[in-house]
Chains A and B, each alone.
Chain A
């Protein structure tokens, strides 16, 4: 199925093969840029991969590896993780760490990287407060960077699924508006 719209832009002549858009979207979620690499859109794939992963890992590093964690308990509802998980595989270990610490009450793996803070108590100095005290503004900035990386990848997933937002291109794949007939 293909779609094209009239425009004077030189981009009109481009034909984008989306291959299997559902698989491309899944790959784009799992690893930013992988969906585009699968579609042989190498330039954009590398651009997305570099931009999003460097943003994510920079934020992750300046936050001491504690800014990405999954938690939904009283006093610590980590809503930011909903944005961070948009980056896919790099954020998924947080779910395993959460299961280990909160459900199984086992020791988290890898020195507690991406593990939720223990002993959450609003009236006492808990581990989350310690992280804030230790990393200061870096904890907030790291959280912001990882959240933005996750949110940006959602836009990238849409691009892998349906092509560029400005529909001046011929898109081929199993998705797209009905083909226009010349009248």
Chain B
């Protein structure tokens, strides 16, 4: 088991083993959509706000992942 598999904790899914964080993707999509829709009433601004929130979430989770990966590489 390499460090990537250790960090992501591969689990079985319909199409075989996938990293656990694949389950974060629909969750982040839903969160950004609902958040955007509670701040605007029209689809255009909702879409823009959702995209901004999604990018922010992906960056935040990516940075966290990088920090944990780096710290696990140190020890």
Among residues 24 to 57 in chain B, which have CB atoms less than 8 Å away from a CB atom of chain A? 26-27, 30-31, 33-35, 37-43, 45
Q: How many residues belonging to B are interface residues under a CB distance threshold of 8 Å?
A: 19
Question: Which of B38, B40, B42, B43 has the largest number of chain A CB atoms within 10 A?
Answer: B38
Docked CA distance A175–B45 (Å): 24
- Extra contacts besides A54-B30, A137-B9 (15): CB < 8 Å: A11-B42, A44-B41, A48-B34, A51-B30, A51-B33, A137-B11, A138-B11, A145-B23, A148-B31, A155-B34, A155-B38, A156-B34, A158-B38, A164-B39, A164-B40
Would you call A155 and B35 a contact (CB within 8 A)?
A: yes
For B35, the closest partner residue in chain A by CB is A155
Docked-complex contact B34 and A9, CB < 8 angstroms: no
Contact, CB under 8 Å: B42 / A10: yes
Contacts between the two chains (Cβ within 8 Å), count = 63
CB contact list, A148-183 vs B, under 8 A = 148, 152, 155-156, 158-159, 163-166, 169
Q: Which of A14, A55, A137, A163 contacts B30 (CB 8 A)?
A: A55
Q: A100 near B: Cβ within 8 Å?
A: no
Q: How far is the CA of A54 from the CA of B30 in the complex (A)?
A: 9
Residues of B with C-beta under 8 A to A16: 41
The answer to whether the Cβ of A30 comes within 8 Å of any Cβ in the partner chain is: no
Band of interface residues on A: 20 to 34
Asked whether B5 is an interface residue with its Cβ less than 8 Å from the other chain, the reply is no
**A144 lies within 8 A of chain B by Cβ:** yes
Q: Which A residues, 63 to 96, have Cβ-Cβ distances below 8 Å to chain B? A: none
A47 and B38 contact, CB distance less than 8 A:
no
Q: Which of A100-156 contact B (CB under 8 A)?
A: 136-138, 141, 144-145, 148, 152, 155-156
B20 adjacent to chain A (CB < 8 Å): yes
A31 CB to nearest B CB, Å: 15
Residues of A within 8 A of B33 (CB): 47, 51
